[in-house]
Amino acid sequence: MLLGAALPLIDFFIVNVALPSIDRELGAGPAMLELVVAGYGVTYAVLLVLGGRLGDMFGRRRLFLFGMAAFALTSLACGLAPQAGTLVAARVAQGAAAALMLPQVLATIHATTTGRRRARAIGLYGATAGLSMVAGQILGGMLVSADIAGTGWRSVFLVNVPVALAGPALATRTVPETRSERPAPVDRAGTVLLALSLVALLMPLTEGHAAGWPLWTWVSLAAFPFLAGAFWAVERQADRQGRTPLVPPSLFALTGLRRGLGMVLPFSIGFGGFMFVMAVALQQGLRQSPVDAGVALVPMAVTFFAASLMGPRLVGRYGSRIVTAGGLVQAVGLVLLVTAVLRSWDGLGFWQLLPGMALAGFGQGLQLPVLFRIVLADVPGEQAGVGSGVMVTTQQSSLALGVATLGSLFLALTASTGMRDALAATLSVQLGAVALTVLMSLRLPRTVG
């Protein structure tokens, strides 16, 4: 199941370091390159809650197996794409496959474990999720530079195929089938309105900078609050009428879920933006190779994983204050990174980035797995798929939003102030988001279930 959790997140980030190579070989251009990222991320975010609901209805293992097989096929299509338009279409299909697969992971953990075993399993899920986001860019840099059998950028997609084909063979033997005891039909109106809301927000923010902010981007952004309001009204009406909405408003009466999701939002926006901006700055600004750009993130990956493994023991002693401590450590790491960028830009490399990367990763590792536990702690077992879908939708939408907003800010500042100052300013904005998460963490339930 953790293999299924890793693949979609790795693939969201692995493409960052391959974009320059895709541009050179396929002549994609900035707008198409943005769609290679956004086509996957937006489709993935839009369909996650539906994927969780379908797992509740038809069986989580069944949807997991189907989603992983589809992920293998769509990854193959990405790797063999002859032109940019074909690659974008394959990435959209790959995002849909990921949305079927990922919600089943947390839902299965939630439905088949209790007590300390559940805490340990969710901790491992959080460690896998965070590590995958960092490892994606590390692995991408190594694969592009290795140019295995002349595949170049295509290897970042083709590497998924054998892994995703091995997954179903393992899952068939080891993963129990679970489903909701009272499966509800799909909420069609809610599904359509949620999809329209997320597309209206994410597509213009992702494509706007590269496309020069045409009229449709502003119309789409203006439509977002009305679509989101209509979605919430439809969901509340369905709840009052005794039907099962796509996202039951009653879930948000759970204090842990509501406050935990509120923190996942700024945390993931910062994480997504950070990974994208660092990839661009190191490769295009400092002319580092994909391998060097990936290796610079290794300290973050190592410390994130170490903190994730320490988390369950620390949470047992200090509760949710571990999240507050993690935010403070992450903030110190970002301050060190800003200092390194401003002082050592021309010679910026692994050793200059090491202290900041290590502390930022350690702080993030103390936060993310604990937030997952807090969000899901009080969700009823029969709503495991819906709860998991809501959480991963929030996380994935926020990652895409981070790439769009912090990425656009960074590129806009680069044109006016230069890449060094643009990177320092963007990291400072992320530091503000970390300060917000620290303040919000003080309102989390003290005891973590």
- Look at residue 111 in the predicted model and tell me its pLDDT: 85
pLDDT in tens, 209-227: 878 889 999 999 999 999 9
- Look at residue 274 in the predicted model and tell me its pLDDT: 92
Q: What's the alpha-carbon Rg for the chain, to the nearest Å?
A: 21
- Look at residue 180 in the predicted model and tell me its pLDDT: 77
pTM, two decimals, is 0.87
- Look at residue 356 in the predicted model and tell me its pLDDT: 96
- Look at residue 269 in the predicted model and tell me its pLDDT: 92
Show the 3-state SS of the chain: CHHHHHHHHHHHHHCHHHHHHHHHHHCCHHHHHHHHHHHHHHHHHHHHHHHHHHHHHHCHHHHHHHHHHHHHHHHHHHHCCCCHHHHHHHHHHHHHHHHHHHHHHHHHHHHHCCHHHHHHHHHHHHHHHHHHHHHHHHHHHHHHHHCHHHCHHHHHHHCHHHHHHHHHHHHHHHCCCCCCCCCCCCCHHHHHHHHHHHHHHHHHHHHHHHHCCCHHHHHHHHHHHHHHHHHHHHHHHHHHCCCCCCCCHHHHHCHHHHHHHHHHHHHHHHHHHHHHHHHHHHHHHCCCCHHHHHHCCHHHHHHHHHHHHHHHHHHHHHCCHHHHHHHHHHHHHHHHHHHHHHHCCCCCCHHHHHHHHHHHHHHHHHHHHHHHHHHHCCCCHHHHHHHHHHHHHHHHHHHHHHHHHHHHHHHHHHHHHCHHHHHHHHHHHHHHHHHHHHHHHCCCCCCCC
Q: Distance between CA atoms of 284 and 282, rounded to whole angstroms?
A: 6
Residue ranges, the chain, pLDDT below 50: none
- Look at residue 256 in the predicted model and tell me its pLDDT: 87
Q: Distance between CA atoms of 77 and 310, rounded to whole angstroms?
A: 39
- Look at residue 49 in the predicted model and tell me its pLDDT: 84
- Look at residue 185 in the predicted model and tell me its pLDDT: 77
- Look at residue 449 in the predicted model and tell me its pLDDT: 65
- Look at residue 201 in the predicted model and tell me its pLDDT: 92
